Structure 1
Amino acid sequence: MESFSTETLRRPYSKLFGAFFSGLLATTAGVYVGQYVPAALQLPLWIAELVLIFIMMAVRKRQSVGYLMMYAFMFISGLTLYSVLNVYTHMLGTAVVLQAFTITTVSFGAIAVYTMVSKRDFSFLGRFLFLALIALVIIPIVGIFIPFSSMTMMIYSGMGILIFIGYTLFDFSRLTVHGFTDQDIPMIVVSIYLDFINLFMYILQFIGIGSKN
């Protein structure tokens, strides 16, 4: 990848975090609107999220289109996120969900700051994380046919937490070590958003399973 000067990197960082936080506002709006979305639309919305990711990968160098897709993805993500948050709120209570969100935010922020300040290269984690992510997808499919114990599911949730901590290290390391351009920002925002939201979901799942034991 083309090397960047410190000045070149500084401008994209301000735009990156500006886009990330404005994207979170789109997600928040989606969560609010999600309470009015029929349950029958949840599956089509999940499919729409996947389609948008693939479209973004195809048009990542077209900045205007990329931003449009980014905000659309994060809004739709908010729509689907509402149903999950609703389940956990009823199961654990609002205070516990907010506690999990706080833990996620503090952990995510600390990992991001550590990676950017230390400038350590965690790109070596890429292959391991990809294989672990495949296992994370396969295990619930196996669970449909072979019921897992609560302890096994807690281990699975812990595995998910570790994997997305690893992805947070990996993604912020790539930004710090290799740099990025303005055109890359929409796809990067979606990547780090997915790190954050998946970390949050697995922390919630871990707490939820623990509360049943």
Structure 2
Amino acid sequence: MNAKGCVGFMESMVIHGEKPYAKFFGALFLGLLVATFGLFVGQSVPKPLFLPLFIVEIVMIILMISARKHKAIGYGMMFAFMFVSGLTLFPAISYYISTLGGLTVLRAFAISAFAFGGTAAYAMISKHDFRFLGSFLFVSVIALIGMGILQFFFPFSNTAELVFSAFGILIFVGYTLYDFSRLTIEGFAERDIPLIVVCIYLDLVNLFLYILQFIGVINRD
């Protein structure tokens, strides 16, 4: 599974009041294509390699923060991260395809894309300030990670897992509001685009995974 959002990484940016949206959305689109290619390649990756790849994914996020001021390095690392992330997504997507069916997974992605796009558009068009959600979302993600670790040792009931996945959905809808609100109100520099793309990508991917989990629990019942 991918890292649980950016958890404060956006706060590391230096805000300049600029808004190079065309370059940002172009980079995001290319990044999603690279991640999709990584997901396809993930079919050929031996199972024992997925845990090391997940660790690499976390390390790359940390390195991107320190290298964000160097645009060329940042973009290279961004695309490398997207590819590795696509690889590590394969086990989860493969599991849900086998249990729910490919059509249900596609529908879940459509729901995720619609919810993500609608939330992002609302934050950008309305220009409402959702930055106050930052602290709450940070604490919520920590709680979500703790619950996930607890679930590993003490499996949840179907009802508890349904609540857990619904909680995850709400958190990453909230992070989408927060991230796009901050970009719209404060602006961002071009050199920050790689890190922003990674943060926004993680919002979308985690939203998708929690929606899949939610649907999976409902179908289990």
TM-score above 0.5, yes or no: yes
Q: Work out the CA distance in 2 between the residues paired with 1:109 and 1:30.
A: 23
Indicate the residue corresponding to 1:182 in structure 2: 190
What whole-Å deviation, never above 9, does each CA across 1:87-144 have from its counterpart, x for those lacking one?
A: 0000000000000000000111101111000011111000000000001000122223
CA-based RMSD: 1.0
Is it true that 1:165 corresponds to 2:184 in the alignment? no
Identity %: 53
Q: Work out the CA distance in 1 between the residues paired with 2:164 and 2:65.
A: 29
Indicate the residue corresponding to 1:32 in structure 2: 40
Structure 1, unmatched stretches of 5+, are none
Greater CA drift, 127-136 or 143-152: 143-152
From 55, 63, 74, the equivalent of 1:55 is: 63
The one-letter code matched in structure 1 to 2:104 is V
Indicate the residue corresponding to 2:11 in structure 1: none
Q: 1:148 offset after TM fit, Å?
A: 1.6
Indicate the residue corresponding to 2:127 in structure 1: 119
Indicate the residue corresponding to 1:45 in structure 2: 53
From 154, 159, 164, the equivalent of 1:156 is: 164
> Which structure is higher in RCO with an 8 Å CA cutoff and minimum separation 6?
2
The one-letter code matched in structure 2 to 1:190 is V
Secondary structure in structure 1 of the residue aligned to 2:44: coil
Pick the structure with greater CA Rg: 1
TM-score (norm 1): 0.95
Q: Work out the CA distance in 2 between the residues paired with 1:51 and 1:3.
A: 27
Q: Work out the CA distance in 2 between the residues paired with 1:3 and 1:19.
A: 19
Number of residue pairs the alignment of both structures matches: 208
From 112, 122, 127, the equivalent of 1:104 is: 112
Q: 1:147 offset after TM fit, Å?
A: 2.9
